[in-house]
Amino acid sequence: MLATQVRRPEWAFMNYGYAPADGEPPLALDPADEPDRLSIGLYERTLAGADLTGRDVLEVGSGRGGGAQWVARRHRPRRTVGLDFSAAAVALSARHRRAPGLDFVRGDAEAMPFPDASFDVVLNVESSHCYGSVPAFMAEVRRVLRPGGTFCWADFRPADAVGPTLDALRASGLSLTAHDDVTPQVVAALRADDARKARLLATWLPRVAHPLMRRFAAMEGSRGFEAFATGRTRYLVARLDAPPA
Ligand SMILES: C[S@@+](CC[C@H](N)C(=O)[O-])C[C@H]1O[C@@H](n2cnc3c(N)ncnc32)[C@H](O)[C@@H]1O
């Protein structure tokens, strides 16, 4: 719906962002990327230093394509594919996000249109909460990953679903090599980006859509924001590795 209603190319990301914790160095960015610093920060935190150079990378749930384009530009993989359920988001991404080796494909995270063992890295940022079945998604991640490949994941869950979610990731047969709760850094990003979001909301969307969008974007004062700020919703990052050949 958002990809159809707001086609503006300058809206490239749809995630809550990540503000570095104390002592974490700030990202070095080109001036053109500054408006997306917090969303790019979430991608970098999710990748956690994974080496993508010369690799084949799949992003599942690529949204408006800003993250896949960032990865293709900054990390120099051989190929980057952004997969999304929304045909409108895929069309928007294909039109506005260009980089060497970057393509966008329409498809379902639970039935991916790729052969077995076709990617070295699968990236999934703030999308899996939308899926009907996380086990079905994880079976697909394992299927499309090459032996020794890496899955980098970030998403939010109710506090009482954190344990079961990590269990579901592990049950895929990939090994959970790192995981972290980054809720404070996400709350800091939400606070830092609130005024900018309010300006964009007022400019881009009709007033009738504002209450829903304030909640969707977890803006300060919304139920979504309060759930993060009080810890009822937690934001997690994890890395899992496929068994070697
Ligand atoms: C909150 S957006 C995040 C987009 C992007 N990762 C980012 O951070 O900017 C979630 C995306 O997941 C996509 N999505 C939801 N269900 C999906 C599914 N079953 N298969 C593929 N993509 C899906 C949505 O269409 C949406 O573009």
Q: Is residue 17 part of a domain?
A: yes
Alpha helices in the chain (DSSP H): 2-5, 37-47, 66-75, 87-96, 134-144, 162-170, 183-204, 210-216, 223-229
Q: Is residue 13 part of a domain?
A: yes
Ligand 1 atom nearest the C-alpha of 64 is 9
pTM of the model: 0.95
140 lines ligand 1 (CB under 6 A): no
Q: What pLDDT score does 74 carry? A: 97
- Please give the Cα distance from 37 to 29 (Å, whole number): 8
Per-residue pLDDT for 38 more than 80?
A: yes
Cα angle 206-211-214, degrees, rounded to a multiple of 5: 100
Q: What pLDDT score does 11 carry? A: 82
- Please give the Cα distance from 169 to 199 (Å, whole number): 38
Q: What pLDDT score does 203 carry? A: 87
Alpha helices in 117-156 (DSSP H): 134-144
CATH number of 31's domain? 3.40.50.150
Residue 6 pLDDT grade (very low, low, confident, very high; cuts 50, 70, 90): low
Residue 1 pLDDT grade (very low, low, confident, very high; cuts 50, 70, 90): confident
Q: What pLDDT score does 204 carry? A: 83
Q: Is residue 222 part of a domain?
A: no
Per-residue pLDDT for 3 more than 90?
A: no
How many residues are listed for the chain in this entry?
245
Q: Is residue 199 part of a domain?
A: no
Q: What pLDDT score does 201 carry? A: 86
128 lines ligand 1 (CB under 6 A): no
For the segment 137-145, the average pLDDT, to the nearest whole number, is 98
Question: Residue 82 Cα, ligand 1 centroid: separation in angstroms?
Answer: 10
Q: What pLDDT score does 137 carry? A: 98
Express each pLDDT in 46-70 by its tens digit.
Answer: 999 899 999 999 999 999 999 999 9
14 lines ligand 1 (CB under 6 A): yes
For the chain, the domain total comes to 1
Alpha helices in 20-128 (DSSP H): 37-47, 66-75, 87-96
Per-residue pLDDT for 198 more than 80?
A: yes
Q: Is residue 91 part of a domain?
A: yes
Q: What number of CA atoms fall less than 13 Å from residue 231's CA on the CB side?
A: 1
For the segment 99-116, the average pLDDT, to the nearest whole number, is 98
What residue numbers bound the domain in which 88 lies? 2-183+234-241
Q: Is residue 106 part of a domain?
A: yes
Q: Is residue 154 part of a domain?
A: yes
For the segment 84-104, the average pLDDT, to the nearest whole number, is 96
Residue 134 pLDDT grade (very low, low, confident, very high; cuts 50, 70, 90): very high
Q: For atom 8 of ligand 1, which residue has the closest CA?
A: 15
63 lines ligand 1 (CB under 6 A): yes
Largest CA distance in the chain: 55
61 lines ligand 1 (CB under 6 A): yes
17 lines ligand 1 (CB under 6 A): no
Q: Given the structure tokens 């996000």, which residue do they identify?
A: 97
Q: Is residue 60 part of a domain?
A: yes
Question: Mean of the per-residue pLDDT values for the chain?
Answer: 95
